[in-house]
Amino acid sequence: MQNKLKDAVVLITGSTRGIGRATLEEFLSYGAKVILHSRRPLKELETIAKQYPEGQVYPISADLSKPEDCSFLLKSVIDKFGKLDILVNNAGIIYRERETLPNSSAWQNTLQVNLLAIADLIRMSVPYLNKSEIASIVNVSSIYGTIGTLETLSYSISKGGINTLTRTLAKEYAPKIRVNAVAPGNVDTELTKSGGEKVSTYFNEVTPLKRSATPQEIAAGIVFLASPAASFITGQILTIDGGYSIR
Ligand SMILES: NC(=O)c1ccc[n+]([C@@H]2O[C@H](COP(=O)([O-])OP(=O)(O)OC[C@H]3O[C@@H](n4cnc5c(N)ncnc54)[C@H](OP(=O)(O)O)[C@@H]3O)[C@@H](O)[C@H]2O)c1
């Protein structure tokens, strides 16, 4: 099959580590041109970009908690490449709260980074994606978006919002742009470490496959959904959880 991802321009938010970094490397293996993005200073991103083949990885620093940075991010991609083929909304944060309904700025920040920034980036990307022959958006949700959980309600709400956004925008932007999401269970990354060892131990015990996912296992699902191999799939939330949700 022809490799349609070769030279495709792919923006992956939050691609310095974890699932985003693994996704960046997976797209690179198909010859795509990828944007390495996070809120870290540009110098740090440039250092990471140097590890990859020259001209394939383009670093952009933007803090998604600031709406003006979302515009800057998209504008920088277009200024550099003049087009966008695939948008992967991966960046995300989690706050673990003692009270279920705290009145905290952490709530607002979680919703801004995990949901509102995604809506903004999609809205700004659509005119460019509409010009691509392989236009696709993949959002990174979570199983918590469906089942919810104590102590991370703001996170779960943001992920539930992503699921609704994904299904709704898949209808809105069809037939030109496919919109899908992945919903991982527990994945071995920095984000999970913030829950302490007990969270991973619990997941590993109750998950039928008896372990957490590697970031690469989630990246494989993201790249599949974004690729022409998934050309008849839109509006779907692909659960990748080792069977946790059917236990
Ligand atoms: N790990 C899991 O078990 C799990 C399960 C389900 C879903 N997910 C979802 O998967 C996605 C990736 O998670 P991960 O586990 O790979 O997390 P991670 O290792 O903590 O990586 C998060 C990435 O997002 C970036 N980021 C965070 N806040 C940002 C902001 N305000 N502006 C720009 N970039 C920002 C980070 O960049 P910096 O370099 O700037 O910190 C980093 O590159 C998230 O949406 C998460 O909710 C994870």
pLDDT tens, 159-190?
Answer: 999 999 999 999 999 999 999 999 999 999 99
Residue of 128, 144, 155, 244 marked catalytic: 155
What pLDDT score does 150 carry?
A: 84
Regarding the beta carbon of 61 and ligand 1, being less than 6 Å apart is answered: no
Look up the pTM and report it.
0.98
Regarding the beta carbon of 65 and ligand 1, being less than 6 Å apart is answered: yes
Regarding the beta carbon of 91 and ligand 1, being less than 6 Å apart is answered: yes
What pLDDT score does 2 carry?
A: 63
* Three-state secondary structure string covering the chain: CCCCCCCCEEEECCCCCHHHHHHHHHHHHCCCEEEEEECCCHHHHHHHHCCCCCCCEEEEECCCCCHHHHHHHHHHHHHHHCCCCEEEECCCCCCCCCCCCCCCHHHHHHHHHHHHHHHHHHHHHHHHHCCCCCCEEEEECCCHHHHCCCCCHHHHHHHHHHHHHHHHHHHHHCCCCEEEEEEECCECCHHHHCCCHHHHHHHHHHCCCCCCECHHHHHHHHHHHHCHHHCCCCCCEEEECCCHHHC
Architecture of domain 9-241: 3-Layer(aba) Sandwich (3.40)
* Residue minimizing CA distance to atom 2 of ligand 1: 187
202 is catalytic: no
What pLDDT score does 120 carry?
A: 98
Regarding the beta carbon of 66 and ligand 1, being less than 6 Å apart is answered: no
Residue ranges for the chain with pLDDT beneath 50:
none
